[in-house]
């Protein structure tokens, strides 16, 4: 079974500052990793995913994440945030065999202020 | 293309009442998921359909929850009778193919259920 830990429930940051949202996972098998974003009153939307290959993954809206197998982490970063990035961010994991079954973390609320 | 549609968006009921949620996935998507998202938690998978067959319902409380996917398209999730702890947002998602682990899931806006 897999599990995901997002230690930061809330991250406040000023506009144009860099941000990192942390995600650690636990799994006894190889996994795929995902970051989804949930804007207020909307459904979740995929930001990026790591399947294989380069450990640095680029996603939409200027976000990127780095897969670190030894530290079992998949932290999300953006060099300069905008007010519009205010949302809930969820890290998720799925093992690589059989049907897809996403296991989500508890989410991190990113609050961007002017 | 149109996204995943869900209705109603909000529902308030008394405990022990019944409630049903409806989901219309993206046209042509083979796999459909229902998630429960309790306040402060991440979404938890309740049930997964591939076309109109169930492939995973291990976390569905079958004594009170039921779901069906008619003709491999629309889906309905029902709770009967509801308990206070069922208060949550119920999310529907779909993905294009037969549930490969690398697939992107496309989520609807959710139905917020409040049980009083």
Nearest-angstrom CA–CA distance, B54 and B72: 11
Residue A5 touches partner B, C-beta closer than 8 Å: no
For an interface test with A, the pick among B105, B108, B111, B112 (most A C-beta atoms closer than 10 Å) comes out as B105
Interchain pair A100, B44: CB under 8 A: no
Asked if pLDDT for residue B100 goes beyond 70, the answer is no
Shortest distance, CA A67 to any CA of chain B (angstroms): 15
Interchain pair A100, B101: CB under 8 A: yes
Interchain pair A32, B101: CB under 8 A: yes
Asked if pLDDT for residue B68 goes beyond 90, the answer is yes
In A, minimum Cα distance to B90 occurs at A43
> pLDDT value at position A16?
97
Asked if pLDDT for residue B97 goes beyond 90, the answer is no
In B, minimum Cα distance to A9 occurs at B40
Rounded to the nearest integer, the mean pLDDT of chain B is 92
Of A54-58, B1-5, B89-93, B99-103, least confident by mean pLDDT is B99-103
Whether B92 contacts B108, CB under 8 Å: yes
In B, minimum Cα distance to A103 occurs at B44
Tell me, what DSSP letter sits at residue A75? E
The band of B40, judged by pLDDT with boundaries at 50, 70 and 90, is: confident
Nearest-angstrom CA–CA distance, A79 and A94: 27
In A, minimum Cα distance to B49 occurs at A99
Nearest-angstrom CA–CA distance, B82 and B21: 13
Q: Which of A32, A95, A106 sits opposite B40 (nearest CB)?
A: A106
For an interface test with A, the pick among B101, B106, B108 (most A C-beta atoms closer than 10 Å) comes out as B101
Q: Hey, what are A75's tokens?
A: 């932290």
> pLDDT value at position A80?
97
Q: Which of B42, B56, B95 sits opposite A106 (nearest CB)?
A: B42
Q: Hey, what are B10's tokens?
A: 């909000």
């Amino acid at each position: 079974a897999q599990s995901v830990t997002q230690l930061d429930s809330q991250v406040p940051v000023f506009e144009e500052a860099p941000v990192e949202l942390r995600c650690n996972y636990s799994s006894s098998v190889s996994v795929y990793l995902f970051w989804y974003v949930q804007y207020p009153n909307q459904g979740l939307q995929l930001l990026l995913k790591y399947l294989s290959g380069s450990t640095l993954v680029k996603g939409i809206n200027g976000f990127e994440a780095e897969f670190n197998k030894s530290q079992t982490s998949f932290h999300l970063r953006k060099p300069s945030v905008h007010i519009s990035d205010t949302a809930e961010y969820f890290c998720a994991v799925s093992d690589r065999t059989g049907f897809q079954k996403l296991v989500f973390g508890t989410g991190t609320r990113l609050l961007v202020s002017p | 293309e149109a996204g995943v549609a869900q209705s109603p968006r909000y529902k308030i009921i008394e405990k022990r009442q019944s409630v049903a949620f409806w989901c219309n996935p993206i046209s042509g998507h083979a796999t459909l998921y229902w998630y429960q998202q309790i306040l402060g938690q991440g979404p938890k998978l309740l049930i997964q359909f591939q076309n109109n067959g169930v492939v995973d319902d291990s976390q569905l409380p079958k004594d009170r929850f039921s779901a069906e996917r008619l003709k491999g398209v629309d889906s309905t999730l029902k709770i009967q009778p509801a308990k206070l702890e069922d208060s949550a947002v119920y999310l529907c998602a779909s993905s294009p193919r037969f549930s490969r682990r690398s697939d992107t899931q496309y989520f609807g806006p959710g139905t917020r259920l409040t049980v009083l």
